């Protein structure tokens, strides 16, 4: 599902944008229509630059995956690891995260809004309990 972290990106810059022209999500390959929000990711790693875009649903999945083993695992940037969530994490994905796979852009925005609270709660909880 992800890569073990043994190195870190030199730059990892994630920004939210609203499309002024169509883009293609580089994770699910869905067309991001004009007017839709999307995440643009700029990466600098070992002198190599890379920029990619993810739709709201894929960005939300990516952010969720980061919470599963923070500091140890980092999700594939295109969510293209070839592994199944259930097999890798030995549990089902949360229902809202699973629903993102088939969500329309509007539904993905709604799911993102609903999942943000518990994602931040998980982060906060880990930070609180981590010595």
Least separation in angstroms between residue 58's CB and Zn ion is: 3
Least separation in angstroms between residue 65's CB and Zn ion is: 13
- Residue 38 or 74: the one with the smaller Cβ distance to Zn ion is 38
- Residue 10 or 29: the one with the smaller Cβ distance to Zn ion is 29
Phi, psi of 65 (to 5 degrees): -60, -30
- Residue 55 or 65: the one with the smaller Cβ distance to Zn ion is 55
Which residues form the interface with Zn ion (CB under 5 A)? Answer: 25, 27-28, 55, 58
How far apart CA 79 and CA 57 sit, in angstroms, is 11
How far apart CA 55 and CA 68 sit, in angstroms, is 21
Least separation in angstroms between residue 71's CB and Zn ion is: 25
How large is the angle between the packed helices 56-66 and 105-129, nearest 10 degrees?
20
- Residue 1 or 25: the one with the smaller Cβ distance to Zn ion is 25
Least separation in angstroms between residue 68's CB and Zn ion is: 19
How far apart CA 117 and CA 131 sit, in angstroms, is 23
Helix (H) or strand (E) holding 41: strand 37-45
């Amino acid at each position: 599902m992800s890569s073990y972290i043994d190195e870190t990106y030199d730059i990892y810059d994630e920004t939210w944008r609203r499309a002024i022209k169509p883009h293609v999500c580089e994770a699910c390959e869905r067309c991001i229509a004009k007017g839709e929000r999307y995440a643009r990711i700029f990466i600098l790693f070992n002198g190599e630059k890379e920029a990619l875009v993810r739709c709201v649903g894929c960005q939300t999945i990516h952010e969720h995956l980061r919470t599963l083993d923070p500091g140890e695992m980092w999700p594939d940037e295109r969510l293209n690891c070839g592994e199944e969530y259930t097999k890798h994490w030995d549990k089902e994905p949360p229902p809202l995260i699973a629903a993102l796979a088939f969500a329309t852009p509007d539904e993905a925005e709604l799911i993102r809004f609903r999942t943000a609270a518990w994602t931040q709660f998980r982060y906060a909880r880990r930070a609180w309990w981590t010595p």
